[in-house]
Structure 1
Amino acid sequence: MSKVLSALSVSVDGYITGHNPGPGHGLGDGGMLFDWYFAGDVPSQVMDGFKLSEPSAQLFDTLASRVGASLAGRNTYDDSEGFGGGSPHPTASLVVLTHRPVPEASDRQTIVTTGIEDAVAAAKAQAGDKDVALMGGGVVTEALKAGLVDELVLHQVPILLGRGRPYFQELPEHIQLRLIEAVPAAGVTHLHYEVQR
């Protein structure tokens, strides 16, 4: 059965972008959140160009090989220049949750405007027997509120950014997590949690 997960790079103080993210600026000054993608000599078997440390490569490729569809919020979509008409994952389709028209969407992208439940359902339908990867703090928070998230992975980078876009926005109640594994690696600690229901 398909699962819904989020695996994002995050600063120790909880930000997934740096200062001033946006179209034409990407992650703002938060690009160091992804330095661990290139902190080793083990090529990723899923993402071309990534050379990770051994522990990161093993965890990253295991997670990335599970993904059949990605689901991004509008800010993530715009910050990433619409992923060049494709998807952040080389073989997965992309669903974009937005409340505004996306005139540049391609045939590899599905636009959903009717809420998180419909967006997750569309992504699951496209993922088949694989999993759905959530991208963006707003999407992750809305999916958590709706009880739709199975796993969270925080690729925690040892930096305090001070501000930017947070991984999690305001949640209405406590959500219990169970630590599945913690993997220290070059420039990052991978914290893999199961969301308890």
Structure 2
Amino acid sequence: MSKVIMTATVSLDGFIASEDDAVGPLFDWYGNGDVAVTMGDPGRVFHVTPASAGYVRSLGGIRATVIGRRLFDITNGWNGVPAAGEHVFVVTHEPPADWPFPDAPFTFVGDVPPAVEQARALGDVSVAAGDVGGQALAAGLVDEVHFNVVPVLLGRGKRYFGSFAGGVRMLEDPRVIEGDRVLHLVYAVRR
């Protein structure tokens, strides 16, 4: 059975980006080591520490990603190449009419549950943290929550769980992978 993972790099105070969507030092760990890894797109090579490489490689089963329209717009859909996995499901009520990569493996879906369901049919799924991830968690669709915690305080910005208001959710004890300038915490969602 496929697994749904909510994931992002996060500051110590719980933000995945500043209010203007800048990530600042959050992604520094992607370039602070000697081990080359990719997350699906062979054109995007990161150089991380051995511990972080092991963590990234453990996500090798990701076949699809679910993101929101905001992330899609900020990244320009990674120019039609999924950043992780082989297919991207974009949650939006208004698909782009003029996107220059109409044949790219991107599907536009009107709500989080059907996007996750369609993605899950392909295999393991990565759901972007933020509002889409918070909605997936609230709907009971997330199996694991992954925090890539970096030692920085942003003070304010985009919250890891977005506007999550789904009530109490218990997580299991974390699996901890200690990288350089990043701590990977993996929590199974208690059922």
TM-score, normalisation: structure 2: 0.90
**Aligned counterpart, 1:186:** 180
Q: Does 1:111 align with 2:124?
A: no
Q: In the aligned structure 2, how far is the partner of 1:39 from the partner of 1:179?
A: 28
Q: In the aligned structure 2, how far is the partner of 1:160 from the partner of 1:44?
A: 27
CA contact (8 A) 1:73 1:136 kept: no
**Aligned counterpart, 2:8:** 8
Q: In the aligned structure 2, how far is the partner of 1:179 from the partner of 1:73?
A: 29
- Residue 140 (structure 2) aligned to one of 144, 147, 150: 147
CA contact (8 A) 1:158 1:187 kept: yes
How many aligned residue pairs are there? 184
Superposed, which structure 2 residues align to 1:147-166 within 5 Å?
147-166=140-159
Q: In the aligned structure 2, how far is the partner of 1:181 from the partner of 1:136?
A: 19
1:49 shift after superposition: 2.0
CA contact (8 A) 2:7 2:129 kept: no
TM-score, normalisation: structure 1: 0.88
SS at structure 1 position matched to 2:15: coil
**Aligned counterpart, 2:47:** 51
Q: In the aligned structure 1, how far is the partner of 2:7 from the partner of 2:70?
A: 17
Ranges in structure 2 where 5+ consecutive residues have no aligned partner: none
CA contact (8 A) 1:75 1:136 kept: no
CA RMSD of aligned residues (A): 1.5
Q: In the aligned structure 1, how far is the partner of 2:118 from the partner of 2:38?
A: 27
Q: In the aligned structure 1, how far is the partner of 2:156 from the partner of 2:102?
A: 32
Q: In the aligned structure 1, how far is the partner of 2:48 from the partner of 2:189?
A: 27
Ranges in structure 1 where 5+ consecutive residues have no aligned partner: 22-27
Q: In the aligned structure 1, how far is the partner of 2:69 from the partner of 2:25?
A: 22
**Aligned counterpart, 2:167:** 173
1:45 shift after superposition: 5.4
Instruction: Tell me which amino acid in the other structure corresponds to 1:49.
Output: V
